[in-house]
Structure 1
Amino acid sequence: MHKDVAGHKQIAKQRGFVLVVTLWIMAILGVMAASFTYEALCETKVESWSSQDSRAYNLARGGIHRTAGLIRKHARDSVHSITDKWFSGESFYREVKFGPGYYSIVRPGTKDSKKSKNVPLEYGLVDEESRLNINVATMDQLQGFPNVSNVLASNIILYRTKKKSKSSRKTTASVALAKGLVDGPIRTVDELLQVKGMTTEILYGTPEGKKGIAPYLTCYSSGKVNINTAGKEVLHAVGFTTRQVEALLAYRLSGWKGFASVDAAFSVLGAASQKSRMAHLLGVQSKNFKMVCLAGFEPGKPVERITARVSAGKDQLRFTRWESESLPRI
C-alpha cells in the first residue's frame, strides 16, 4: 500500500516537472515568436520607409528638373526681372501636384531653415546674380555691408588673394565650373569664417533677428549683379546712393518689368557720373540660379529636400551643384 502511494507521488512529481518544463518551453517559444513577429514588422516598416524615401527622392528630383526646364525656357530672355511671374510666386512653386505627391520650390532662409522657424515661407528661385560674388568684390563694396569694417574688408581681400596664389601653384587643375561662373578661389561663403575678424554673427546674423551678410554674397555667379533682381543691400554695396536705390525699388513696386539695358538704368536713375565706375559690374540678365525643392506625399509635410544650382547658357543648362537630404518624419 505504501509503495502504491509513493509511486503515485513520484508519478505526480514527474508530471508536474514535465508540465513546468512544457510551460517554460511554450513561454520561450512565445517570446521567440513575438520577437520574430516584431523583427518582421520592423523590417517591413524599414522597407516601407526605404521605398518611400526612394519615391520622395524621385519626386523632389522631378520638381528640380521641371523647374530647371522653366529656367531653360526663359534663359534667352533679354531681361530677367524679379517681377517676372516665372521667377517667384505660389502659383508656380507652392505645393505643385506631381505624380503621387507634391513639391515646392522655396527660398532658403525662410521658415524651412533650422535657424529661422518663425519666418514666413517664400516660394521661388534664388537668383545668384542678385548677389555680390565674393571672388570679385572690391574693398568699397564689402564695406557697403553692415558691420564690415575696412579692416575686415581688407582681410577678406587678403584671404582671397593668398588662396588664389596657392591654387595657381598647384599642378592639378582647379575644380571645373560651368561657363558663366567665376572660377574661385573661394568656393563657399562659409569659408569667410576663416578670415581674421569674421564672426558667425557678422556672417549669419543673430538669433535675435540681426541680419548677417551671407544672404547678399555668393560664389556661384558670373560676377555681374543683375540690377533688375538685386536687393537694396546689394545695390547699395555695388555703389548706388540711397536715393537711387529707393527710386529703383519704387519702380519694382509699380509693376515695372525691369531695365532693358544697363545704360537705361544709369539714365533713368540719374547716375551718369557713376557709369564708368560701375557699369562693368552690372547686367540685366541672370545665368545662375539656386533651387531648393521640398517634396512629400501630403501637402505641408515634406520628407525630402534637394538643393541644386544651374548655370544657363544660350544653348545649354548645366547643374553645378546637387545635394539631397531626407527630412525627419513628424
Structure 2
Amino acid sequence: MKLDKNTNGSVLIMTLLITALLVAILVEFAYGVFVKTNVLYNFRDGQNLSLIAQSGIELADGYIKDYLASNQYTAYASYVIPVAKITDNSTESLVVSITDENAKFNINTIINENGTTNEKALSTFKRLLTALKLDENISLYVTNWISSKAGSSSGLSDSTSHNYLYCVDELLSIPQITPEIYKKLAPFVTANSDGLININTASEEVLMALDENITQSTAKEIIEYREKTSPFKTTAGIQSAPAMADKSIGLMGKITVKSTVFSVTSVAALRGIQREIHAVTQYSETPEQVKYWKEF
C-alpha cells in the first residue's frame, strides 16, 4: 500500500514536533541542572565566606585587645588590618576595618535613663548639627523619637518609655531624616558608646560640638597639635594645645583619651559573592560585650 503525499507530510511534521519537544526538554533540563548547581555552589561559597568574615571579626577582636593592653591612649579613629592571603592558592579576599566609636557623638545620650532630656547632650548635638550645616531642629526630631513610646512622633516625653536607637541606621526611620541628611550625619554619630568623646580621634566637627567656645579654628589647632606633637595622654593634656589653655575646664567629664567601644567591618568576597559583618563591641567590661551585630 502506498502512502500519499499528505500522509508523508503529516509524519514529517510529527517527527519534527517530537524532535523539537525533546530538544526543548533537554535544554530545560540542562538549564535547570546548571541553575541548581550554581545555587548550590553559591550557597557553599556563601557559607564559607560567612565563616571567613567571622574570622575577620575575631582577628580584629584580638588586635583591639592587644592594642588596649599595650597603650594608655587611643590614637587612631580608623584602621584597616592588613590581612594576608588565606592560602597560597586561594581566591578569596578579606578586608577588616576598625572604627573608634568614641570618636563620635552618642545620640542616645540625649535621653537619660529615667526618660528625661539630657540638656547638655542635646546642646552638644545641636552644635554638631550646626558644624555640619544641618538644621538644629533635627535634634528635636531625634529627641522626640527616642523619648517617645515605640518611636511615635507624638511629642517630647519625660516618661520612662523611651526608645533608644539600636544602631545609627535607625535614624532613617525618623520621618524628617532624609537619606541626604543621614548620609551627612551618620559618620559623626553613634548609638553604641559610653558617651565620652576621645579627643585623640574626634573629628573637627565633633570637637566643635563639645563646647561653644571651641571654634573651627580651635578644633583645627587641636587636631594639628595631636598629629604633629603627640596624642593626648590624659584628658588634662588638651590644655597643651595653645588654643585650649583656658577652655578645657568645661570639657571634663565629657572627654577621654582611651576608647572602649569599637566597630568592626569584615568583608569576605569570592567570584562576585560577598559576605559582610558589622559588629560593635564594648571593651570596658570583662568579658567584652557585643552591642551590635549584623551580617549581610
Specify the TM-score bucket, using the shorter chain as the normaliser.
0.7 to 0.9
Q: Give the structure with higher Rg (CA).
A: 1
Match among 262, 272, 290 for residue 319 of structure 1: 290
Given the alignment of the two structures, is residue 135 of structure 1 paired with residue 128 of structure 2, yes or no?
Answer: no
Query: Partners of 1:281 and 1:234 in 2: how far apart?
Result: 12
| CA deviation profile, 1:48-85 (whole Å, cap 9, x unmatched) | 111111122222221121112211222333211118xx
| CA deviation profile, 1:130-168 (whole Å, cap 9, x unmatched) | 001112252331222233555544454454444596873
Give the corresponding residue for 2:153.
Answer: none
Give the corresponding residue for 1:216.
Answer: 188
Q: Secondary structure at the match of 1:303?
A: strand
Give the corresponding residue for 1:287.
Answer: 260
Query: Partners of 2:95 and 2:171 in 1: how far apart?
Result: 30
**In the superposition, relative to structure 1, how do residues 18 and 160 fare at CA in structure 2: closer, same or farther (>3 Å)?**
closer
Give the corresponding residue for 1:112.
Answer: none
Deviation at 1:268, TM superposition (A): 4.3
Query: Partners of 1:314 and 1:139 in 2: how far apart?
Result: 27
Give the corresponding residue for 1:277.
Answer: 250
Give the corresponding residue for 2:94.
Answer: 103
Match among 172, 177, 186 for residue 165 of structure 2: 186
Given the alignment of the two structures, is residue 266 of structure 1 paired with residue 239 of structure 2, yes or no?
Answer: yes
Give the corresponding residue for 1:39.
Answer: 32
Query: Partners of 2:105 and 2:54 in 1: how far apart?
Result: 28
Q: Contact conserved, 1:294 with 1:302, CA < 8 A, in 2? A: no
Q: Contact conserved, 1:139 with 1:150, CA < 8 A, in 2? A: no
The RMSD of aligned alpha carbons is: 3.2
After TM superposition, the score normalised by the length of structure 1 is 0.69
Deviation at 1:275, TM superposition (A): 3.9
Q: Contact conserved, 1:131 with 1:217, CA < 8 A, in 2? A: yes
Which structure 2 residues correspond to residues 10-21 of structure 1 after superposition, within 5 A? 18=11, 20-21=13-14
Query: Partners of 2:172 and 2:261 in 1: how far apart?
Result: 24
Unmatched 5+ stretches in structure 1: 1-6, 106-123, 175-183, 205-211, 326-330
Given the alignment of the two structures, is residue 72 of structure 1 paired with residue 44 of structure 2, yes or no?
Answer: no
Give the corresponding residue for 2:117.
Answer: none
Unmatched 5+ stretches in structure 2: 111-120, 150-155
Deviation at 1:231, TM superposition (A): 0.8
Match among 43, 46, 50 for residue 43 of structure 2: 50
Q: Secondary structure at the match of 2:258?
A: coil
Deviation at 1:97, TM superposition (A): 1.8
Give the fraction of aligned pairs with identical amino acids, expressed as a percent: 23
| CA deviation profile, 1:98-130 (whole Å, cap 9, x unmatched) | 24322112xxxxxxxxxxxxxxxxxx3111100
**In the superposition, relative to structure 1, how do residues 32 and 293 fare at CA in structure 2: closer, same or farther (>3 Å)?**
same
Query: Partners of 2:194 and 2:21 in 1: how far apart?
Result: 70
Matched residue type, 1:45: N
Match among 70, 79, 91 for residue 88 of structure 1: 79
Give the corresponding residue for 1:168.
Answer: 160
Q: Contact conserved, 2:167 with 2:292, CA < 8 A, in 1? A: no
Matched residue type, 2:2: H
**In the superposition, relative to structure 1, how do residues 185 and 166 fare at CA in structure 2: closer, same or farther (>3 Å)?**
farther
Q: Contact conserved, 1:289 with 1:309, CA < 8 A, in 2? A: yes
**In the superposition, relative to structure 1, how do residues 310 and 139 fare at CA in structure 2: closer, same or farther (>3 Å)?**
closer
Q: Secondary structure at the match of 2:95?
A: strand
Query: Partners of 1:311 and 1:30 in 2: how far apart?
Result: 61
Q: Secondary structure at the match of 1:58?
A: helix
Q: Secondary structure at the match of 1:103?
A: strand
Q: Contact conserved, 1:104 with 1:293, CA < 8 A, in 2? A: yes
Query: Partners of 1:102 and 1:161 in 2: how far apart?
Result: 43
Give the length in aligned residue pairs: 271
**In the superposition, relative to structure 1, how do residues 40 and 125 fare at CA in structure 2: closer, same or farther (>3 Å)?**
same
Q: Contact conserved, 2:234 with 2:257, CA < 8 A, in 1? A: yes
Give the corresponding residue for 2:98.
Answer: 125
Q: Secondary structure at the match of 1:316?
A: coil
**In the superposition, relative to structure 1, how do residues 307 and 16 fare at CA in structure 2: closer, same or farther (>3 Å)?**
same
Query: Partners of 1:203 and 1:229 in 2: how far apart?
Result: 21
Q: Contact conserved, 1:75 with 1:313, CA < 8 A, in 2? A: no
- Of 192-201 and 38-47, deviating more is 192-201
Given the alignment of the two structures, is residue 228 of structure 1 paired with residue 214 of structure 2, yes or no?
Answer: no
Q: Contact conserved, 2:105 with 2:197, CA < 8 A, in 1? A: yes
Query: Partners of 2:136 and 2:93 in 1: how far apart?
Result: 47
Q: Secondary structure at the match of 1:323?
A: strand
Query: Partners of 1:41 and 1:159 in 2: how far apart?
Result: 50
